[in-house]
Amino acid sequence: MEDTIVAISTAQGVGAISIIRVSGKDAIKIVCKIFSNKNFFNAPSHTIHYGYIMDGNEKIDEVLVSLMRAPKTFTKEDVVEINAHGSIMTTDKILEVLLINGCRLAEPGEFTKRAFLNGRIDLTEAEGIMNLINSKTDISRKIALNQVGGKVSSMIHDLRDDLASIIANIEVNIDYPEYEDIEEMTIDKINSNLSELEDKIDKILKESKNGEILTNGIKTVIVGKPNVGKSSLLNRLIGEEKAIVTDIRGTTRDSVEANLKLDNLILNLIDTAGIRETDDVVESIGVDKSIKLIDQADLILFVVNYNERLSEEDLIILNKLKGKNYITVVNKCDLDKKIDDEKLENVIYISALKDNNIDKIGDRIKQMFNLEKIETTDLTYLTSARSGAILRKVLDSVKEVRKGIKNNYPIDMVEIDLKDIWNLLGEIIGESYDEELLDNLFSRFCVGK
Amino acid sequence: MNYEVIVVGGGHAGCEAALATARMGHKTLLVTGNINNIADMPCNPSIGGSAKGIVVREIDALGGEMGNNADKSLLQIKMLNTAKGPAVRSLRAQADKIIYPKNMINTLNNTDNLDIKEALVKDVITSNNKVNGVLLENGEEINSKIVILTTGTYMNADIMIGDTRHREGPHGERPSNYLSDNLAKKGFKIKRLKTGTPPRIDKDSIDFSKAKKEDGDKVFHTFSFDNDPMYDIDKQVPCFLIYTNDETHKIIRDNLNKSSMYGGLLDIKGVGPRYCPSIEDKIVRFSDKERHQLFLEPESLYYDDIYLQGFSTSMPYDVQEKMVHSLSGLENAKILKYAYAIEYDAIVPTQLKFNLETKLIENLFTAGQINGTSGYEEAACQGLMAGINASLKLEGKDPFILRRDEAYIGVLIDDLITKGIRDPYRLLTSRAEYRLLLRTDNADLRLREYGHKFGLVNKEKYDKFLKKKNDIEKASLEFKEKRLTPKNNDYLESLGTKPLKDGVSLYDLLRRPEINVEDLTKFLDNEYDVDVLEQVSISSKYEGYIKKALREAEKLKHLENKKIPNDIDYDAMHNLASEAKQKLKEVRPNTIGQAMRISGVNPADISILTMYMKWG
């Protein structure tokens, strides 16, 4: 990693300006070679310089160059950022001369990787930045920002501290058994402490699920028997909100076929094939297929017809929806009511044709996923799959320990599990065993000859 | 006279080192400042304790002397943590401070290949960074191939009481005035450490009726796997528990600036042990605590000193008098020896290889407090390891390095070398990641083979060990094969356990917490020793945890097998954090496993290191 790397940091396309970022030990030297303003080389850190990017004697672009010397930079290396005019041609040309003069094209995420490897940021922060770069909505950007600021780290730190004090107490009981006036960490006390810990982790995981939803979108499926208006609903959702539908068929493992932006929500629609058929063709998406899709989704929009009684097929689907997150969308409310809707729950009455009440759907989704308050409250969530997976492992371990306690395992076995959990939590924030536990032990307890 | 090995120092490390090299057939000289002070116990009159007791068993399993010697010198003994599970049980004994050294000196005198000389060592003689022998303070030179330094707290030792500082070893012994400076001249980094000891009180001046009596166990214990108990269970000598009180605390607070450590002396550099704070420290750091526990421990049957555990201090004499007299039962106590703090030189242990040989000078080994540890047991086990490794070096054999999952000794040495020390190092159960594997009951199963291989465990003892091992296998098999059926339900219910619906093996029944191994022996065809049954019981009851620990240990082995090339250039790794780079250069770990444990080396540094090893 001695290379000096370069990348165009702004989105490709025509904007007013674009930024080319260079990082590495030769960053300043290399840029100086192609920059008309030679004062730049010895200039103090964190200054901006005006001049031309040159290809030999040819002026490529008039630019502002930011000079940031190590270590107070994003990568902790020397970093230079060139603010050029936004045309693709000039930007690419600048990139090209930098490459010719000794830079290497950065791999995706390499700046962040360097920041991590050079100890500028920890793992959760690195993940936060990756999320920030990839964030699709304003809220997910906020969550990512919080992760960058170390909020997740501090939350995990708190959990870990709780645990460390239990462990330290057990350790001190074991290593200093003759100290009778030190509180004995009994199985009962551990149990009640653990149940608190379990609640806290549970809460973080639940909130993280929401965070995940905000960052990654809600896996959504629209089901219903043929001809109830699924495709009209889809078109309304798209059209009404002027959302961008990106067709990324076959590119994701979850078979997400469209990302639909609804206020601050992203709906990842899975399997739209059946819906996109026109209304007058018998839709290919039948009851069997609906049932299959229900299991894959975080959210189900179940569409029924206001103008018909619930059919056998409707009832089969309804039965399948028990215990799931679903909204019953009663369509065609512009027609006469024939539906026996007393069996239905979580109902929204709409008319896709007349464009009635479509906006209620977004509100209801926010309610269901408890996302209403999120815009204003602290956005501390574990948005990475890695952290989530470890935390779920932690939760399992906590349950395991409590089972061990129930089976009368002696305290030294129980403590082995507690240490595992403590280490797992350390993994989330990229911290491993050090003197921490011992420090805790000796700062909290007065022991010794 | 030419020696193969010279051991400098006759403390617990020196005794084990000298015995090991001599017993392994190498002509050894033990040089000590005072022959009468060999195997002295300058601080507390006890051997063992949490984790430490397990180390004593490990020393015994490897063929060291401490366990055997302690068994012969007991005042009382107990098993700690019996209710907290098998992994943390550990023996602790009060040992007689007259008898313990006497027995050890006898053993040394009766060991072939071992001479003892009274002298102080001034320097280690070297050529081309290799040991040639030692230079004594009287100018005499003695040659040897190997030198093992076990100088304890004697190098540049200062005794501190109140505002006074004297160049003196423990109890006024002659200190070593030159060795440390000469080591520094050779390039060794020296660290100043500090420890302390409490006052000794005349037994007859204490009113024990106000104290709580603490007896030894009413079942027999021995440290050594080969000894039968040698003490009268009913004649164990008790310890006593008392507490400090408001008045004690007030006296200490009022006189705080007179304590050497709190302003009495302004030139203190030594770092004191966290786990062994002075009573001043306790009062200052835990000011909200109303009282602190103190123990009255007998030092010997042959003199009257009572060791006041928990009351170590560097207050001047007059304040010590007041402090002691404020204690309940000690109102009229007579102080026989005043407490003191002691500052001494140690070498920074990251300068050692894993066989305890120094990196700077070939064939120079160090062990015990000179390496920054504290405690008799920690010293003894290093002495033994240094002795074994010195012998192996002489024989041209591979070094003997214990892994962290094999022994507390492995944990200790690995900690010293990879993490270095901040304050004097004490073993704690919490330092061992695999402590379920490192139990007091299985130290022989873990280590006896090694002891035998090195010739430190004789045939008789080894055969006894092999029989035990066989019996454990046989018993496990029998427990697994013998099944109980619902026909036995009456008996099971009498034990307070659930009746059976189907046949179940004894081994599986043993998993039930309420069933003890003794409850099932009547169904066996063969009779087994208690030790053997204990192994079966532990492996049945804690099978899941033991398996997990073994899996974790496998992971460790995997990391320990990832060797780092000797010539690796840390300076070439530009992305290493500078602290990590410095630590890695200093320690020069042999494996990724060791590198990971170095304090100041973060997971990110490890990924850079492995990336570099892969592509660099």
Q: What is the dihedral of CA B95, B97, B101, B104, to 10 degrees?
A: -10
Given 3-state DSSP classes, what are the helix, strand and coil percentages for chain B, each rounded to the nearest 5? Answer: 40, 20, 40
Both tokens of A55, joined, read: 């290809």
Structural domain for A195, as ranges:
151-210+383-444
Cβ contact B599–A435 (<8 Å)? yes
One domain for residues A67 and A32: yes
- Residues of chain B contacting A437 with CB distance shorter than 8 Å: 430
**Residue type at position B12:** H
- Residues of chain A contacting B543 with CB distance shorter than 8 Å: none
Q: Is A239 on the interface with B (CB under 8 A)?
A: no
Condensed to tens digits (0 to 9), the pLDDT of residues A348-358 reads: 999 988 888 88
Across the interface, of A2, A181, A434, the residue whose CB is closest to B599 is A434
**Residue type at position A2:** E
Separation in Å, CA of A164 to nearest CA in chain B: 12
- Residues of chain A contacting B291 with CB distance shorter than 8 Å: 181
Mutate to test the interface with A, among B239, B276, B374, B575 (most CBs of A within 10 A): B575
**Residue type at position A365:** I
One domain for residues A196 and A260: no
Cα–Cα dist B288/B291, whole Å:
9
Cβ contact B603–A407 (<8 Å)? no
Tell me the domains of chain B and their CATH numbers: 3-195+344-453 (3.50.50.60), 459-546 (1.10.10.1800), 563-615 (1.10.150.570)
- Residues of chain A contacting B295 with CB distance shorter than 8 Å: 178
One domain for residues A403 and A310: no
CATH of the domain at A420: 1.20.120.430
Searching chain A, which residue's CA lies closest to the CA of residue B44? A449
Cα–Cα dist B173/B157, whole Å:
10
- Residues of chain B contacting A416 with CB distance shorter than 8 Å: 87, 435-436, 545, 548-549
Condensed to tens digits (0 to 9), the pLDDT of residues A115-141 reads: 766 767 666 666 666 655 555 455 555
Last residue within a domain, chosen from A102, A120, A138? A120
Both tokens of A48, joined, read: 């901006």
Searching chain B, which residue's CA lies closest to the CA of residue A439? B274
One domain for residues A274 and A365: yes
Cα–Cα dist B146/B123, whole Å:
14
What is the ipTM score, two decimals? Answer: 0.79
Helix (H, G, I), strand (E, B) or coil at A418: helix
Across the interface, of B51, B285, B549, the residue whose CB is closest to A175 is B51
pLDDT at A411: 85
Q: What is the pLDDT averaged over residues B336-349? A: 95
- How many other C-beta atoms lie within 10 A of the C-beta of residue B211? 21
- Please name the residue ranges forming H helices in A217-286: 230-240, 273-276
Query: Is residue A142, in this structure, part of any structural domain at all?
Result: no
Searching chain A, which residue's CA lies closest to the CA of residue B195? A449
One domain for residues A202 and A101: no
Query: Is residue A134, in this structure, part of any structural domain at all?
Result: no
Region of A20 (left: φ > 0; alpha: ψ -120 to 50; beta: rest) is beta
- Residues of chain A contacting B240 with CB distance shorter than 8 Å: none
Across the interface, of B43, B84, B513, the residue whose CB is closest to A174 is B84
DSSP H or E run through B171: none
Q: Which residue, among B263, B382, B305, B441, has the nearest Cα to B17 in the 3D structure?
A: B382
Across the interface, of B84, B430, B549, the residue whose CB is closest to A410 is B84
Separation in Å, CA of A167 to nearest CA in chain B: 9
Say if residue A254's pLDDT is above 50: no
Separation in Å, CA of A27 to nearest CA in chain B: 15
One domain for residues A357 and A408: no
**Residue type at position B339:** A
Q: Is A409 on the interface with B (CB under 8 A)?
A: yes
Cβ contact B50–A409 (<8 Å)? no
Query: Is residue A110, in this structure, part of any structural domain at all?
Result: yes
Across the interface, of A2, A408, A446, the residue whose CB is closest to B574 is A2
pLDDT at B604: 64
Searching chain B, which residue's CA lies closest to the CA of residue A176? B50
Query: Taking a C-beta distance cutoff of 8 angstroms, is the pair A270, A255 a contact?
Result: yes
Searching chain A, which residue's CA lies closest to the CA of residue B275? A448
Cβ contact B85–A437 (<8 Å)? no
Q: What is the pLDDT averaged over residues B62-84? A: 96
Mutate to test the interface with A, among B54, B55, B88, B313 (most CBs of A within 10 A): B88
**What is chain B's mean pLDDT, rounded?**
93
Mutate to test the interface with B, among A175, A397, A403, A417 (most CBs of B within 10 A): A175
Separation in Å, CA of B281 to nearest CA in chain A: 9
Query: Taking a C-beta distance cutoff of 8 angstroms, is the pair A103, A120 a contact?
Result: no
What does B43-97 look like in DSSP terms, one character per residue? S-SEEE-TTHHHHHHHHHHHT-SHHHHHHTTEEEEEEE-GGG-GGG-EEEEEE-T
pLDDT at A249: 32
Condensed to tens digits (0 to 9), the pLDDT of residues A356-389 reads: 888 888 888 877 876 655 443 344 444 455 566 6
Cβ contact B574–A1 (<8 Å)? yes
pLDDT at B601: 80
User: SS in 3 state form for A106-161?
Assistant: CCCCHHHHHHHHCCCCCHHHHHHHHHHHHCCCHHHHHHHHHHHCCHHHHHHHHHHH
- Residues of chain B contacting A442 with CB distance shorter than 8 Å: 274-275
Residue A242 sits at φ, ψ, to 5 deg, of 45, 40
Q: Is A50 on the interface with B (CB under 8 A)?
A: no
Cα–Cα dist A379/B431, whole Å:
38
Non-local (6+) Cβ contacts of A185 within 8 A are A166, A169, A170, A173, A411
Query: Taking a C-beta distance cutoff of 8 angstroms, is the pair B501, B486 a contact?
Result: yes
Count how many domains chain A has: 3
One domain for residues A165 and A234: no
Across the interface, of B44, B422, B430, the residue whose CB is closest to A171 is B430
- Residues of chain A contacting B597 with CB distance shorter than 8 Å: 433
One domain for residues A190 and A253: no
Q: Which residue has the tokens 């750091």?
A: B285
Query: Taking a C-beta distance cutoff of 8 angstroms, is the pair B42, B337 a contact?
Result: no
A and B: number of Cβ contacts within 8 A: 124
- How many other C-beta atoms lie within 10 A of the C-beta of residue B496? 9
Distances (CA, A) of A143 to A108, A131, A210, A380, A392: 21, 9, 11, 6, 20
The angle at the Cα of A37, spanning A35 to A41, to the nearest 5 degrees, equals 85
Say if residue A66's pLDDT is above 70: yes
Non-local (6+) Cβ contacts of A116 within 8 A are A122, A123, A125, A126, B604
Query: Is residue A77, in this structure, part of any structural domain at all?
Result: yes
pLDDT at A381: 46
- Residues of chain A contacting B243 with CB distance shorter than 8 Å: 181
- How many other C-beta atoms lie within 10 A of the C-beta of residue B397? 11
CA of residue A279 relative to chain centroid, distance: 37
Q: Which residue, among A268, A211, A222, has the nearest Cα to A245 in the 3D structure?
A: A268
Provide the terminal-to-terminal Cα distance of chain A, rounded to the nearest Å: 51
Residue A108, classified by CB atoms within 10 Å of its CB into exposed (0-12), middle (13-18) or buried (19+), is exposed
The angle at the Cα of A355, spanning A352 to A357, to the nearest 5 degrees, equals 95
What does B186-214 look like in DSSP terms, one character per residue? TT--EEEEEEEE--EEEGGG--GGGSEEE
One domain for residues A289 and A347: yes
Searching chain B, which residue's CA lies closest to the CA of residue A412? B85
Say if residue A241's pLDDT is above 50: no
Last residue within a domain, chosen from A318, A343, A371? A371
**Residue type at position A98:** L
Question: Which sign, positive or negative, has the C-alpha torsion B243, B246, B249, B255?
Answer: negative
- pTM reported for the whole predicted model: 0.75
Cβ contact B289–A446 (<8 Å)? yes
Please indicate whether residue B142 or residue A288 has the higher confidence score (pLDDT): B142
Mutate to test the interface with B, among A174, A396, A406 (most CBs of B within 10 A): A174
Say if residue B542's pLDDT is above 60: yes
The angle at the Cα of B559, spanning B553 to B565, to the nearest 5 degrees, equals 150
- Across chain B, which distance is largest between two alpha carbons, in Å? 83
Separation in Å, CA of B117 to nearest CA in chain A: 34
User: SS in 3 state form for B389-457?
Assistant: HHHHHHCCCCCCCCCCCCCHHHHHHHHHHHHCCCCCECCCHHHCCCCCCCCCCCHHHHHHHHHHHCCCC
Cα–Cα dist B220/B222, whole Å:
7
- Residues of chain A contacting B435 with CB distance shorter than 8 Å: 412, 416
Searching chain B, which residue's CA lies closest to the CA of residue A178? B80
Condensed to tens digits (0 to 9), the pLDDT of residues A137-160 reads: 555 555 554 554 456 667 778 888
- How many other C-beta atoms lie within 10 A of the C-beta of residue A370? 13
One domain for residues A194 and A310: no
Query: Is residue A297, in this structure, part of any structural domain at all?
Result: yes
Condensed to tens digits (0 to 9), the pLDDT of residues A176-217 reads: 888 777 777 788 888 888 888 888 888 777 766 666 666 667
Cβ contact A442–B273 (<8 Å)? no
Cα–Cα dist B77/A185, whole Å:
25
Separation in Å, CA of A103 to nearest CA in chain B: 17
Cβ contact B274–A448 (<8 Å)? yes
Cα–Cα dist B376/A209, whole Å:
54
One domain for residues A227 and A349: yes
Query: Is residue A28, in this structure, part of any structural domain at all?
Result: yes
Q: Is A424 on the interface with B (CB under 8 A)?
A: no
pLDDT at A109: 67
Cβ contact B604–A181 (<8 Å)? no
Non-local (6+) Cβ contacts of A224 within 8 A are A230, A290, A302, A303, A304, A314, A317
CATH of the domain at A291: 3.40.50.300
DSSP H or E run through B217: none
Across the interface, of A117, A177, A446, the residue whose CB is closest to B607 is A117
Condensed to tens digits (0 to 9), the pLDDT of residues B225-280 reads: 999 999 999 999 999 999 999 999 999 999 999 998 887 777 777 787 777 789 99
Cβ contact A174–B50 (<8 Å)? yes
Cα–Cα dist B164/B372, whole Å:
24
CATH of the domain at A61: 3.30.1360.120
pLDDT at B611: 65
Query: Is residue A256, in this structure, part of any structural domain at all?
Result: yes
- Across chain A, which distance is largest between two alpha carbons, in Å? 89
Confidence of residue B130 (pLDDT cuts 50, 70, 90): very high
One domain for residues A278 and A351: yes
Q: Is A180 on the interface with B (CB under 8 A)?
A: yes
Q: Is A118 on the interface with B (CB under 8 A)?
A: yes
Searching chain B, which residue's CA lies closest to the CA of residue A444? B286
Instruction: Give the relative orientation of helices A138-148 and A151-175 as an angle to the nearest 10 degrees.
Output: 40
Confidence of residue A242 (pLDDT cuts 50, 70, 90): very low
Query: Is residue A146, in this structure, part of any structural domain at all?
Result: no
Which residues, in sequence order, are bridge partners of residue B117?
A: B31
Peptide bond before residue B238 is cis, with ω within 30 degrees of 0: no
- How many other C-beta atoms lie within 10 A of the C-beta of residue B514? 11
Burial B311-334 (b: 16+ CB within 10 A, else e): bbbbbbeebbbbbbebbebbeebe
Across the interface, of A1, A431, A441, the residue whose CB is closest to B575 is A1
